[in-house]
Structure 1
Amino acid sequence: MAAPLQDYYSYSMAVGDGSGTEYTTASDGRITGIRIWENSNAYIRGIQLRYDADWTTAVCTSNGNPMEMTLRNNESIVQVSGKYYSGYIYEIMFVTSRGRSLKVGQPYGSSFNFYPTNVGSELRFLSGRQNGNGITSIGAHWALY
């Protein structure tokens, strides 16, 4: 008998000061792309995920030129790490099941490292808070797809 799906769900507790408005990137489908906006040589200003063929609404801001990664067939995000300091997420890195990564921001502040606690799980969505200028906290939700 297979384990219930909730046995494969895990949550990486949010880091950052958590000021501002709550956000979530939750959507239907599998994550197939990532866009990240950085405030020049400073903190992360915005994040956007693509599920199947559809982009979510950008979290916080989509002003400027984003760094972007498109996932390949059967590729998933298995790690999210970075740094936070003084009210903002300063650096974020997404690592895929194929060993590829997208890293944006400045290596400044306290480190965080998120990954699923169950074998075979992948990033399903991000949540946290933003204050209109940037991302102030981030947490990761993992599950089987």
Structure 2
Amino acid sequence: MLHLLLILSGVTLGMAMPLPDYYSYSTAVGDGSGTEYSTAYDGRVTGIRVWEYNNAYIRGIQLRYDGNWTTPVCTSYGNPLEMTLRDNESFIQVSGKYYYGYIYEIMFVTSRGRSLKVGLSYGNSFNFYPTNDGSQLRFLSGRQNGNGITSIGAHWAVY
């Protein structure tokens, strides 16, 4: 039996180690009332649309994966502000402000230093970014109440 354990331990030591886990999650902020949402979809995030309510809170969010837009989260009423990524560009930071029930401001920053900022700079600040080098935004999740986004979290991974 001891001989078998020595052989098995030698095999384990000689095997290649698995790659580290490159997934991370930026814990959701906001009061979290309403219905859960997720923008998870196949492919790489290549664009973002954001709707706001009269220069105040965020009403809706939509991500584009490769060439496909997801269903808008919450509402798509009004004209969105939009950013489309360039080749070899990714979202590497999501920040903003939240206060009493809504996400008031959101800003997406790319690996090339470009940004899209939407909403009113009011409330408590948040700053999301991946914990692993080379990771990028994969999807957003949180809650919405039909009038606006009430909480938001970011999921990151190497693509």
TM-score of the alignment, normalized to the shorter chain, above 0.5: yes
Helix, strand or coil at the partner of 2:95 = strand
Q: Once the 2 structures are TM-superposed, how far is the Cα of residue 4 of structure 1 from its aligned partner?
A: 2.8
Q: Which has the higher strand share?
A: 1
1:93 lines up with 2:107 in the alignment: yes
1:26 lines up with 2:32 in the alignment: no
1:48 lines up with 2:62 in the alignment: yes
* Residue number in structure 1 paired with 2:9: none
How far, CA to CA, are the matches of 1:80 and 1:38 in structure 2? 16
* Residue number in structure 1 paired with 2:148: 134
User: Structure 2 counterpart of 1:64, which letter?
Assistant: G
Q: Which has the higher helix share?
A: 2
1:108 lines up with 2:122 in the alignment: yes
* RMSD of aligned alpha carbons: 1.0
How far, CA to CA, are the matches of 2:50 and 2:25 in structure 1? 21
* Residue number in structure 1 paired with 2:85: 71
Return 5+ residue gaps in structure 2 as ranges: 1-15
TM-score (norm 2): 0.88
Structure with the greater alpha carbon radius of gyration: 2
Q: Percent identity?
A: 81
Return 5+ residue gaps in structure 1 as ranges: none
* Residue number in structure 1 paired with 2:22: 8
Between the two proteins, the alignment pairs up a number of residues equal to: 144
